Structure 1
Amino acid sequence: MKMTLSVAILGAVLASGAAYANCIGSSGFQTCTDQSGNTYSVNRLGNMTTVNGYNSQTGSSWSETANTLGNTTTINGTAANGQSWNETIQNFGNGNRSMSGVDSNGNSFSHYCTAYGCN
């Protein structure tokens, strides 16, 4: 679930005009601060986006790099506990997508989602 939270944070930070974080910088590099005082640096280069985060309450850091090729996004990260995780997302259109990978506890996961929810 920590990995899912990171993906959610990545999505929130990357969203244009995200309500969850105040970002400054250019389209290629931004520094963001959320309502809890956590900070993120977002670096975009072509199809690759790297996010480095810092939790102001715990002092922990995390990072993730997402690469997109066609309808497939591969994300590799290091959680705040120092453990690696990965996820591959395939988008099939109309809200249909599959997600699979290994979380920061070493547990494999696989989900298929439609516009109506995920299994």
Structure 2
Amino acid sequence: MLGTYLPIMLLILVALAFGLGSVVFSSLIGQKKFSKVKMAPYECGCEPIGTARERFPIKFYLIAMLFILFDIEAVFLYPWAVLYKKLGLFGLVEMGLFVVILFVGYIYVWKKGALEWE
């Protein structure tokens, strides 16, 4: 049984050795000249303005959580679509109920104004 996993373990070891070897090798032979320009944060070629520790509005987090919530719907819909013929009418009713519950959640979020961006 161990023999069947040997190629996978060997591939993982080679990948880890290559990654670690590259980092160690570059740190050993690389230049170590630090300057103010090199140590400055880089942001798309523009001079940084202000501090990097700014607060984000809570709307960003709310939209991200809603995206994750409704994106997980697709994760549950895909296996159902693959096994649609095997599940038959029972699977259709269950998935219909699932979509209705998600739709009710979407309407609730919409009525609460969570999707309004001001």
Higher relative helix content = 2
Q: Same fold (TM over 0.5)?
A: no
Q: Please tell me the TM-score bracket, short chain as reference.
A: under 0.3
- Give TM-score scaled by structure 1 length: 0.26
- Give TM-score scaled by structure 2 length: 0.26
Higher relative strand content = 1
Larger Rg: 2
